[in-house]
Amino acid sequence: MPATVLMGLQWGDEGKGKITDYLARSSDMVVRFGGGDNAGHTLKIGGEYFFNHLLPSGILYRNVKCVIGNGVVVNPDVLRKEILKIMEKGYSAENLCISDKCNIITEYHLALDAMSEKTNSRIGTTKRGIGPAYMDKIGRSGIRFCDIANGTYAEKLAEHLDYVNFILVKYYGGKAVRAQAAAEKLFKQYNALKKYVCRTEYLVNEYARKNKNILFEGAQGAFLDIDFGTYPFVTSSSTYPGGAVTGSGLPPKYITKVTGVVKAYTTRVGEGPFPTELKNADGEALRKKGGEYGTTTGRPRRTGWLDLFSLKYSVMLSGASNIALTKLDILSGFKTIKVATAYKIGRKLLEHFPSDAGMLGFAKPVYEELPGWKEDISGIKVFDDLPSNAKKYVKFIERYLGTPANIISSGAGRYNTIER
Ligand code: GDP
Ligand code: IMO
Ligand code: MG
């Protein structure tokens, strides 16, 4: 049973990092397959926190191979700093392999992202250059590590910069990027990471053939997916299991399981519709208690009740056969807890999750109200030790989604986890 894809089923920040780290102890390989350093995955080991933007969240285990697959767009400076940081903490990155086909995020991608965020069509991006880097990838003008290795990049970069500088200067009124300086920088960046760069598609296939346990660590979430998310308020990559295939080179036949990570309530960062958003004291309480501030940008996350109607859609599209339910501890203390089970526009109940962000903006959630619990459940490791209303909440979710929550997280720490 070689490969499991773990992905967020909401708008990101579901706790994928924590669950990946927890599951990595029984994995042979952890693979990032999409996104870039827009991701911020938090691990808490003992009292120590780790914030992974590009490093796969299995990195703390020496014997777990960690792969940054070809689907990831890499800012080399961010990755190098992240490697140095874990080394300072006494860990090693010797188990890291980066695909030579990763497209590289350069300074001009950051500039383009920042400038487009000043326009009326802003998305509320992380300003990490993700959209522009994927545009270059799909437009076939990106630079990859292998282009630097074989020396073909400088000419290609100079030609593309003619176009980019036109946009930067004439359209946005910004500064041009000098081709030679940009090429020299790329070369230096590549040299700093060269020892980790390899043919990861061969490596993942070798692990699969040998029947080793491979864990794909999704980034972002279902509703940030470029196709099925709340377009255009999405990221620029495929966050679903299909992305794990194209973003790593592992054939789909090896993927035998999909685990969906679901936060016990909902959060979203950036612009875009969010039907169950709470702009009141309950929303503020969730943000405060849940520490809902972006791991990457520090922005306050928007908060709201759990949205089962949207989750039904992401469970269907992901094929998740089980759920890791996180941050249940944050719901302690609410007298009642609401859960959206349907959407209405006017008086009409919707049959499907809307394709159009504008339409979704008009959708009003239909709630069921469940009794809350007072007890602090932080760190509980056994399902039966949960208060009965917390158990009822979990069972309600399982029943609605038809998917067992066989992992429940009761705290940020690695072992604040219930398995059943
Ligand atoms: P990711 O992007 O999906 O990996 O999630 P983030 O790391 O961006 O955000 C999740 C936040 O919740 C982090 O601060 C985690 O340390 C924290 N966290 C994860 N699971 C739990 C949990 O069960 N309870 C609590 N209290 N915090 C959690
Ligand atoms: P993890 O992996 C939450 C959001 C941004 C913005 C939109 C597009 O930590 O769950 P981008 O920079 O990708 O072009 O921004 O996507 N976004 C995330 N939100 N968690 C993330 O990653 C995100 N990565 C991108 O806030 O709305
Ligand atoms: Mg995050």
CATH superfamily of this structure's domain 3-100+196-259: Adenylosuccinate Synthetase, subunit A, domain 1 (3.40.440.10)
The Cα–Cα gap between 405 and 158 comes to 51
Domain range annotation of the chain: 3-100+196-259, 103-192, 262-419
Q: How remote is the CA of residue 41 from the centroid of ligand 3, in Å? A: 5
pLDDT bin (cut points 50, 70, 90) of residue 2 is: confident
Contacts of 159 (CB under 8 A, 6+ apart): none
pLDDT in tens, 23-48: 999 999 999 999 999 999 999 999 99
282 is catalytic: no
Residue 1 has pLDDT above 70, yes or no: no
Q: Report the share of the chain in percent with pLDDT over 90.
A: 97
State the DSSP H helix or E strand holding residue 282, giving kind and residue range, or none if neither: helix 281-290
Residue 374 near residue 333 (C-beta atoms within 8 A): yes
Residue nearest to atom 25 of ligand 2 (CA): 38
Contacts of 155 (CB under 8 A, 6+ apart): none
Q: Give the pLDDT of residue 296.
A: 82
Mean pLDDT of 397-417: 98
160 is catalytic: no
Say yes or no: do domains 103-192 and 262-419 share a fold: no
Q: Give the pLDDT of residue 376.
A: 98
Topology of the domain comprising 262-419: Adenylosuccinate Synthetase; Chain A, domain 3 (3.90.170)
The finding on whether 412 has its CB within 6 A of some atom of ligand 1 is yes
pTM of full prediction above 0.85: yes
pLDDT in tens, 322-363: 999 999 999 999 999 999 999 999 999 999 999 999 999 999
pLDDT in tens, 260-307: 999 999 999 999 999 999 999 999 999 999 999 988 888 999 999 999
The finding on whether 269 has its CB within 6 A of some atom of ligand 2 is yes
- The domain 103-192 is placed in CATH, from the list 3.20.20.70, 2.102.10.10, 1.10.300.10, 3.60.21.10, at 1.10.300.10
pLDDT bin (cut points 50, 70, 90) of residue 71 is: very high
- Please identify which of the residues 13, 28, 100, 225 carries the catalytic annotation: 13
